[in-house]
């Protein structure tokens, strides 16, 4: 029996570790990291000391949006803008147009979930991609 691809605990840990290692270098800022499954349910979450409340909430919303919409939040937000729409049009309060959420796909293109980073606006997307690259996705 074939199982649907999913984000394992080990993959989530690898992503979290890579992101946290990057931001703890000199000049880094505190961030929150959220990893969700393909339905937007929390798989893993971490927050650094002194990360702001807004960033904590947004990390989840970014991961959720990437997962349930099936695309990274930056391009998704641009797509909405081009169409004259907003995330509120979907009626889902967990959706956000904020940059910093990336979709996690299997090698076959199946959506496995999303990674969201909040707290360092200029680098949130880059950090989420660092986490994605640290996962060994099959």
Neighbours of 63 (CB within 10 A): 35
Mean pLDDT, all residues of the chain: 96
Domain borders along the chain are: 9-134
Residue 44 has pLDDT above 90, yes or no: yes
Neighbours of 83 (CB within 10 A): 9
- State pLDDT tens for residues 90-113: 999 999 999 999 999 999 999 999
- State pLDDT tens for residues 7-24: 999 999 999 999 999 999
Please state, in angstroms and rounded to a whole number, the distance separating the CA atoms of residues 83 and 87. 11
- Please, what's the largest Cα pairwise distance for the chain? 48
- State pLDDT tens for residues 69-93: 999 999 999 999 999 999 999 999 9
Specify the pLDDT at position 133: 97
Please state, in angstroms and rounded to a whole number, the distance separating the CA atoms of residues 77 and 96. 8
Architecture in CATH for domain 9-134: 2-Layer Sandwich (3.30)
Specify the pLDDT at position 3: 86
Residue 1 has pLDDT above 60, yes or no: no
């Amino acid at each position: 029996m074939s199982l649907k691809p999913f984000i394992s605990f080990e993959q989530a840990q690898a992503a979290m570790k890579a992101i946290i290692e990057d931001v703890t270098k000199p000049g880094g800022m505190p961030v929150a990291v959220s990893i969700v499954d393909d339905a937007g349910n929390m798989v893993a979450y971490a927050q650094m000391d002194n990360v702001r409340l807004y960033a904590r909430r947004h990390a989840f919303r970014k991961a959720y949006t990437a997962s349930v919409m099936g695309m990274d939040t930056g391009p998704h937000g641009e797509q909405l803008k081009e169409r004259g729409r907003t995330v509120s049009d979907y009626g889902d309060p967990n959706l956000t147009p904020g940059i910093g959420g990336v979709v996690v796909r299997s090698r076959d293109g199946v959506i496995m979930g999303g990674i969201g980073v909040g707290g360092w606006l200029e680098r949130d997307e880059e950090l989420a991609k660092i986490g994605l690259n640290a996962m060994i996705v099959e």
